[in-house]
A and B are shown apart, each in its own frame.
Chain A
Amino acid sequence: MKNKFYFALLFSKIILTSYLLLLSLAGKAQTADELIRKVKAKMDKVNDYVATGKMKTDVVFIKAPIANIKSYFKKPNRFAIKRDGGVSLLPKGGVSVNVSSLLLTEDYTAIDAGKTTLGATPVRIVKLLPTSDNSDVVLTTMYIDEANLLIRKASTTTRENGTYDMEMQFGKYAAWGLPDKVVFSFNTKDYKLPKGITLEYDDGSKKAELPKNKKGRVEISYSSYIINKGITEAMLK
């Protein structure tokens, strides 16, 4: 009789604990979704923009000068970067992904992954799992500044283009959710061409040993945005 009562009590405890756990998880998921919705609503204020800035490419085998660039964005997902008088190599799926397009689709599950700090800013970690099997993005981890509703950092793992990180610094355009500075980090592969093709001029200087598997970085510092003034199709081509 005593044992029967003990098992009934234990069973009730398990049910109650499970219920509370489920309730708590459901509450947190709701919060993550809500947070994402709020961030998205803030970004939705921007219909289009033209941003002027400078781009630094730091990839071990690319020697490029700092470039003057213009970024063009139009809702929902049109984005283009153009250079003033020159060509640039940009990581696929990296720079072409702007902050808004991170939250473009509705087909994801948001999971709350706790809190941390980026520099001195407290952020919430939210993981976005695409629900579509065909999505190139496997997982996006966002570090969201809850107080200002700004995405401070995003780490995206893709099927085709590896993993890349976007770190954003905000300033005078924070009210629109637009960053002053974006830093993309991505994995690079080795680059090599046969010397017989390049007909290399050997100037006698010793070639520095290039570090392997070094992460590449592209840093874009925006000096100004022209927001919601309309942009033409030609600008996006």
Chain B
Amino acid sequence: MWSLLKIELFKVFKRPRTYIAFIAVWAIVSLIQLAIYVDGPKYMDFVLKDIKDNFDVIGNPLNGYFVCFVILQTLLIHVPLLVALVSADMIAGEANMGTLRLLISKPVSRTKLLVSKFLASAIYAVILLIWIAILGLFLSMIIFGTDGLINAKSYEIIILNGNDIFWRYLCAFGFAALALVTVSSLGFFFSIFAENSLGPIVATMSVIIVFTILTTLDIPLFQSVKDYFFTSHMIGWKGFFEMKVDADGMAIPGTIRNLPAVLRSAGILLLHVFIFTGSAIFIFNRKDVLS
């Protein structure tokens, strides 16, 4: 199994398209950092537009933690598309090159083959996320420094202490890794049905785009069903940046407001991973491979 995984990882990282995502992430993160470095106060004014007339901000709200929050918020919509470039190509790419039949003729079970391919695409997604963490969190911390974080929601503002944030980012990145692995499993699932990678990549992107739009549209019809979209749970990492409050309404540092909900979202994503991957293995084991 380990040998199979190493081979698959070698294949993934040998392809030039794999590195498109790393370059794209670097470009997006750099642009966001540049924009906040140059025009950060204006962005902060927009976030606090309803209260800036009445409140002064003390401290440095435009710090590395805030920049990383903006980057994560922006990237976690777009990175799934980059993940799909690789995961949706795992089987379809082999079929396209005519090597799939040759591959399954080897003395390795189809299940093992598919699991190793899925693990390779999941590892790629996690490495991409580590790249985001290096650029988005650590580089931003170096450039902008650290301080407290203002998490502006639609109806409230949550202020986190500077020493209460880093562990939340570790948890958030862990959750985001699970979200990207879910996307990876979806792309992988579509991949077994096609003989070229374009179809599964577009299908995965379409599902994510449509579900994300439905999730963000504030229309009652969609609000009632959005819990069934896995994209609604992919932003569960934000739950780590909310705190419980005491009887006086004071936020309690070191707490997570609704941990069961975040864990439930993680569970739903994990369930999707098993369903997509399991279905892919189940269907592929019964598939007549002709290419």
> A192-B50, A201-B235, A205-B258 are known contacts. Are A63 and B157 too (CB-CB below 8 A)?
yes
Question: A87, A195, A202: which has the most chain B beta carbons within 10 Å?
Answer: A87
Q: Mark B232-243, 1 if CB is under 8 A from A, else 0.
A: 100111110011
CB pair B54–A92 under 8 Å, yes or no, is yes
**With contacts A193-B47, A203-B265, A210-B155 known, what are 11 further pairs, Cβ within 8 A?**
A58-B250, A62-B157, A63-B242, A65-B251, A81-B58, A83-B59, A85-B148, A86-B161, A193-B155, A196-B218, A202-B227
Query: Which residue of A66, A193, A195, A203 is within 8 Å of B216 (Cβ)?
Result: A195
CB pair B159–A191 under 8 Å, yes or no, is no
CB pair A87–B157 under 8 Å, yes or no, is no
CB pair A85–B147 under 8 Å, yes or no, is yes
CB pair A92–B243 under 8 Å, yes or no, is no
Chain A positions within 8 Å of B55 at CB level? 89-92
CB pair B157–A191 under 8 Å, yes or no, is yes
> A192-B154, A207-B155, A210-B155 are known contacts. Are A91 and B250 too (CB-CB below 8 A)?
no
CB pair A191–B155 under 8 Å, yes or no, is yes
Q: CB-nearest residue of chain B relative to A188?
A: B54
Chain B positions within 8 Å of A61 at CB level? 155-157
Shortest C-beta distance, B159 to chain A (Å), equals 4
CA distance A124 to B124 in the complex (A): 73
Chain A positions within 8 Å of B53 at CB level? 92, 189
Chain A positions within 8 Å of B54 at CB level? 91-92, 161-162, 186, 188-189
Query: Which residue of B47, B159, B265 is within 8 Å of A87 (Cβ)?
Result: B159
Interface: B56 (CB within 8 A): yes
CB pair A83–B50 under 8 Å, yes or no, is no
CB pair B56–A96 under 8 Å, yes or no, is yes
> A63-B159, A63-B245 are known contacts. Are A201 and B239 too (CB-CB below 8 A)?
yes
CB pair B154–A198 under 8 Å, yes or no, is yes
Chain B positions within 8 Å of A196 at CB level? 216-218
Q: Mark A50-73, 1 if CB is under 8 A from B, else 0.
A: 000000111011111111000000
Shortest C-beta distance, A104 to chain B (Å), equals 19
Interface: B168 (CB within 8 A): no
Chain A positions within 8 Å of B239 at CB level? 201, 203
> A85-B163, A205-B258 are known contacts. Are A65 and B59 too (CB-CB below 8 A)?
no
CA distance A66 to B251 in the complex (A): 7
Chain A positions within 8 Å of B227 at CB level? 202, 204
22 contacts between A and B (CB under 8 A): A60-B249, A61-B155, A62-B156, A62-B157, A63-B159, A64-B250, A65-B159, A65-B251, A83-B148, A86-B159, A86-B162, A87-B61, A88-B58, A88-B148, A92-B53, A92-B54, A188-B54, A189-B51, A195-B216, A199-B216, A200-B154, A205-B261
Q: Which residues of A contact B (CB under 8 A)?
A: 56-58, 60-67, 81-83, 85-92, 95-96, 161-162, 186, 188-205, 207, 210
Q: Mark B53-76, 1 if CB is under 8 A from A, else 0.
A: 111111111000000000001000
CB pair B157–A65 under 8 Å, yes or no, is no
Shortest C-beta distance, B257 to chain A (Å), equals 7
Query: Which residue of A56, A82, A92 is within 8 Å of B56 (Cβ)?
Result: A92
Chain A positions within 8 Å of B149 at CB level? 87
Interface residues of B in 162-197 (CB under 8 A from A): 162-164
CB pair A63–B59 under 8 Å, yes or no, is no
Interface: B252 (CB within 8 A): yes
CB pair A202–B50 under 8 Å, yes or no, is no
Number of A-B contacts (CB under 8 A): 161
Shortest C-beta distance, B149 to chain A (Å), equals 8
Chain A positions within 8 Å of B164 at CB level? 65
CA distance A205 to B156 in the complex (A): 14
CB pair A87–B58 under 8 Å, yes or no, is yes
Q: CB-nearest residue of chain A relative to B164?
A: A65
Chain B positions within 8 Å of A199 at CB level? 73, 77, 216, 235, 238
CB pair A64–B159 under 8 Å, yes or no, is yes
CA distance A88 to B250 in the complex (A): 13
Interface: B39 (CB within 8 A): no
CB pair A66–B250 under 8 Å, yes or no, is yes
CB pair B51–A89 under 8 Å, yes or no, is yes
CB pair A201–B162 under 8 Å, yes or no, is no
Interface: B110 (CB within 8 A): no
Query: Which residue of B58, B154, B160, B237 is within 8 Å of A194 (Cβ)?
Result: B154
Chain A positions within 8 Å of B142 at CB level? none
CA distance A201 to B156 in the complex (A): 13
Q: CB-nearest residue of chain B relative to A162?
A: B54
CB pair B262–A203 under 8 Å, yes or no, is yes
CB pair B245–A201 under 8 Å, yes or no, is no
Shortest C-beta distance, A146 to chain B (Å), equals 34
